Structure 1
């Protein structure tokens, strides 16, 4: 689910949130829309409630209820269902879900339009239920290959060829219903072949595809403009060569399509497509995959990128935007990006972050200014070309001997910033923003230290040193992770219980509550029935650390100790089978988690600092 940000005269906009928004109620949506308005965002996606309309269209065509239940995924996975990546997993969707989301969409649209925003509405990409083949056995439908690591039980979507007359029929039926129910501001989003390989690379075919998709829009709305993600060109560069890209883009009249250069702060596509071969585009910052906690940013690239795009030869740039898969982390990055829409040139980053510290806490403090400057020049300034941060920290990954521990910054800068935060803490603990940041920076430090203890564990096992293995494993499992869990549990913004409560609040009965609870837990852990995209949307939350990550690490250390004690080799496949039972057990444990903070944040953070700051500095020597 994306929104698009911006400025530059034509289309002003920003983007969010496949992961974060799914359980939002109206007050949370209202807060988000108000934030958008305050930041000048004027082109948000408005995709909520669309399944209710699809349900009506497919019923009118003759599909039965079981065929619809097999098509729609559960709430936590609808973004990928909409992009034709997967079907049915986490479903079926209760009828109450459709009613609730439709009601919510009406309120969302009213609020957005009241602020003068242009909501982007959904259109038809060709993704159809398998049941279409029962009704139209001669339709030109292709079953695509599996997506990600899913098997065809939940993937292998059915795509109706846009050149088939049935495509125009379904596309116009659906968009007519969209306009009837939601009104229109004439900009529609749909994405063809997102992370899926088209059935043909023939430029003539690809041009016909986009021409037909656009025709299904203009048949309903002659003033339609197609907003399309450009992610496919980046994610499948083996297929999308210049002739294929140009063919798809030129199937639509120039100026009637807007392309989102989705990951432009790291890998801009406009630079090697001659500004998308003349189609208008929006320079977007993605920054976060999976809504992961963990400091990350590319501030130098973010600061300069939009202005380089504006002055690119024959540039067709019409706006800048934000396209994170999930929000509610790294607030400083979104503050910087949203401010750039109002600027004519890059900001002075050192000056900007100093002023940010003052604005964020409502007062000047030399320690906090120095801390933020350290963070901005290190952990928030990744300069490795093409670096993608899915938060690969061992803390939030299934333990193995193949985990990444590389960092794009010097940990000494993070530890020094932590020290400066702790020194400022007594004077700023009354500020909610400071409380959040103190938890977040301490969390980041413990994330880094987890990698250090993991390395100690791996070295001890490789060298058959049982005392060292017991020491490193014991500290990690029985002190560091429990302390991290207590720290996160002390702040409202880091609670697993809040996520689960929001999910269950959508339910009308116990059966629905269990379905939504499973969706919420699975998304942030296994991400699929068997861990198909394991830990992709990992979160560092109170409750999740204790009952998921710490349990995995405990089993890993226990397994290594037993192997060393018995003189047996460690076998990852055997461990994977055992740890899967732990992971799956968490999804169905039925435990209720606190929805209110517990403990004193300063006391917990101070205790952690006294214990682990000396160790952190010693490891740097």
Structure 2
């Protein structure tokens, strides 16, 4: 009976989602042809024939592509069951037949001439209905300042990687503003409620309100414009955009208009006090709940249309008011009822992070109450952190509700080489073969993008594979060859070392959050242990530098050289910190001054120069994107401060200090390095004067430095400066011999 119920749930979801596909075959084929012209240019694009036919997937109902043709005088024919499938087929041809590479940091698109022939007609169907993309947090950590040109690039990347289900949450605050005004709130009350742009993700999940706001009127207008273009482009490929729905959180000001409403003030979140946290949650039985939920969804779908899948998170990282299953079921059912009151075909996309984040609260009865409150097939759960802590295993495949196996990988958009590639490689197949599995897709759900591109290349490929990659070593060597446009044994050897070290995280505590001392407020208790052999990273660094005579003209290679140099310096910072700490604890002044001086006055300034040589590692570019989103200098300063806060203090008092840490030129020089100089100088003073180091006093002094950076209006270069290879070599020649000699 269980297998029958599972099949019924999955069948309903497949039918609902398939019926929601927007655009016809001709429109989707045209969208892929336009993508092809943007990617390759009109001339090379003319060598391809692209078409879309739903009938290609008639038997399985799963996205399918077919490749054929090519060779002398023949066009390459790409046929897909949807625009997304055709784009994925195109990407497969470029990757596997032409040795090309498409990535966030740039693309390597040197096409062989003539275009290689497809020896035998190649037909590939995805094993799952969905390839999902995004985390609610990605909207703030990575997308917040994007214009349409950047969104267009991302949607092209999504299509090429076969993504057919993605959040589309821009512009929702403009809709909420209409709803709140209709409910009787004043504009001032609404302005006081919304967070600033860089913190909207947590306002949307009920974690925050007010902090770093208000939103300017121009923000709403621009976001509405963007959302229309985003949705139009996603739908043109046959993607399913996920729109937001009402999760139950409301402004406190609603109690002025409706004094009798039944609301619960939630607990604080993220070390914020109730001035910015402690959201107000409408009781599920309150008659206003369905009114607010329906008003919002009706206004939203009137503005943007719908594809019938909606996201809402009522208890994200928040303890519910009651653990009683009856309460949790009622709270869940009310959210769903508000959806179907407007859209009878609604499917709720739920981030399963809450079950993983607070497992002590979410026992079997509590999880079952939520999962059972929505008809099977109408709740689509994201197993958000499945590569590390899968929830489907301990919930019997989410008790029959469909789920998507997701790789979270990155927290806060941190830099830092990291991956659990073996776990990622094996995880989807294991989930698919799980008893009575209700898995319907794979997903990438990073909090921030633009890092560790090898991890995302593998995950995207797995969305179209029925089995794991047999040999990850060979796969990563092929990845490097495509990325640089040539097979190079030394560079491939470097990547194999990275695969067995930084990209081989496994076991408990395997997390993508960078906790390196480099990006943390210093103390004497900092952890420096890593799960890999640091020698592998230093050796990979050496090998990449050895490959520079051949590969230095490759932009992707130079990007990787910066990234691996950055990682090597991160390792060196940990080692010099350990030396300095040991010297201090042993009251050895000269070794303390030597190690502390190298770390704060040599290593970090040198790292800043290397980062400044690549456009992807510039604080100036990060802040300039924020400024360009504004319509006045006042707005530009406001947006820039939002961005600076998110990178560093996160809240007014360092509430989530350094969570969203990045290693960017300018940030290293003017934020991390001053803290480290202060720390080492304080330790030296402590030994000289014979007084204990006072962490509390140091934290107060460090906070002054951090706040000075956040409030500064200093402008930073938005164009790279210096020669990457030369700067990386100088660093290497200075520190690698010390490492080999054991002098660190």
State the TM-score, normalized to the length of structure 1: 0.98
Shift in Å, 1:70: 1.6
Equivalent residues of 1:146, 1:155 under 8 A apart:
yes
**Which residue of structure 2 lines up, in the alignment, with residue 63 of structure 1?**
185
Shift in Å, 1:7: 4.9
Equivalent residues of 2:317, 2:358 under 8 A apart:
yes
SS of the equivalent of 1:447 reads helix
Tell me, in whole angstroms, the C-alpha distance in 2 between the residues paired with 1:440 and 1:290. 17
1:176-220 alpha-carbon deviations (Å, 9 max, x no partner): 011101100000000111000111111111111111110000000
**Which residue of structure 2 lines up, in the alignment, with residue 378 of structure 1?**
501
Tell me, in whole angstroms, the C-alpha distance in 2 between the residues paired with 1:393 and 1:282. 31
Tell me, in whole angstroms, the C-alpha distance in 2 between the residues paired with 1:389 and 1:568. 38
Whether 1:420 and 2:539 are equivalent positions in the alignment is no
**Which residue of structure 1 lines up, in the alignment, with residue 231 of structure 2?**
109
SS of the equivalent of 2:307 reads coil
**Which residue of structure 2 lines up, in the alignment, with residue 164 of structure 1?**
286
Whether 1:205 and 2:327 are equivalent positions in the alignment is yes
Whether 1:467 and 2:600 are equivalent positions in the alignment is no
**Which residue of structure 2 lines up, in the alignment, with residue 12 of structure 1?**
131
Shift in Å, 1:589: 1.4
1:518-529 equivalent positions in 2, closer than 5 A: 518-529=641-652
**Which residue of structure 2 lines up, in the alignment, with residue 323 of structure 1?**
445
> How many residue pairs end up in the alignment?
618
SS of the equivalent of 1:568 reads coil
Tell me, in whole angstroms, the C-alpha distance in 1 between the residues paired with 2:356 and 2:514. 20
Whether 1:593 and 2:712 are equivalent positions in the alignment is no
Shift in Å, 1:620: 8.6
Tell me, in whole angstroms, the C-alpha distance in 2 between the residues paired with 1:428 and 1:385. 38
Equivalent residues of 1:50, 1:122 under 8 A apart:
yes
Stretch of structure 1 that moved more, 515-524 or 381-390: 381-390
1:6-405 equivalent positions in 2, closer than 5 A: 7-16=126-135, 17=138, 18-347=140-469, 348-405=471-528
Shift in Å, 1:383: 1.2
Equivalent residues of 1:13, 1:40 under 8 A apart:
no
Unpaired runs of at least 5, structure 2? 1-87, 89-124
Shift in Å, 1:377: 1.2
Equivalent residues of 1:81, 1:87 under 8 A apart:
yes
Larger Cα-atom Rg: 2
Shift in Å, 1:67: 1.2
1:457-489 alpha-carbon deviations (Å, 9 max, x no partner): 101111111111111111111111000000000
**Which residue of structure 2 lines up, in the alignment, with residue 498 of structure 1?**
621
**Which residue of structure 1 lines up, in the alignment, with residue 35 of structure 2?**
none
SS of the equivalent of 2:669 reads helix
Tell me, in whole angstroms, the C-alpha distance in 2 between the residues paired with 1:122 and 1:262. 18
Unpaired runs of at least 5, structure 1? none
* Change beyond 3 A, Cα 1:377–1:620: farther
Equivalent residues of 2:403, 2:440 under 8 A apart:
yes
Equivalent residues of 1:304, 1:346 under 8 A apart:
yes
Shift in Å, 1:13: 2.5
Shift in Å, 1:618: 2.8
1:527-568 alpha-carbon deviations (Å, 9 max, x no partner): 100000000000000000000000000000111111111111
2:556 to 433, 454, 472: 433
* Change beyond 3 A, Cα 1:468–1:183: same
Tell me, in whole angstroms, the C-alpha distance in 2 between the residues paired with 1:64 and 1:191. 26
* Change beyond 3 A, Cα 1:409–1:476: same
Shift in Å, 1:299: 0.5
Tell me, in whole angstroms, the C-alpha distance in 2 between the residues paired with 1:429 and 1:80. 42
1:559-574 equivalent positions in 2, closer than 5 A: 559-574=682-697
**Which residue of structure 1 lines up, in the alignment, with residue 733 of structure 2?**
610
SS of the equivalent of 1:218 reads helix
Tell me, in whole angstroms, the C-alpha distance in 2 between the residues paired with 1:573 and 1:13. 44
Equivalent residues of 2:385, 2:406 under 8 A apart:
yes
Equivalent residues of 2:579, 2:592 under 8 A apart:
yes
Tell me, in whole angstroms, the C-alpha distance in 1 between the residues paired with 2:675 and 2:142. 25
**Which residue of structure 2 lines up, in the alignment, with residue 578 of structure 1?**
701
Shift in Å, 1:8: 3.4
Tell me, in whole angstroms, the C-alpha distance in 1 between the residues paired with 2:743 and 2:346. 58
Tell me, in whole angstroms, the C-alpha distance in 2 between the residues paired with 1:201 and 1:616. 54
**Which residue of structure 1 lines up, in the alignment, with residue 606 of structure 2?**
483
Tell me, in whole angstroms, the C-alpha distance in 2 between the residues paired with 1:461 and 1:332. 40
SS of the equivalent of 1:284 reads strand
Stretch of structure 1 that moved more, 610-619 or 483-492: 610-619
Tell me, in whole angstroms, the C-alpha distance in 2 between the residues paired with 1:237 and 1:620. 45
RMSD: 1.3
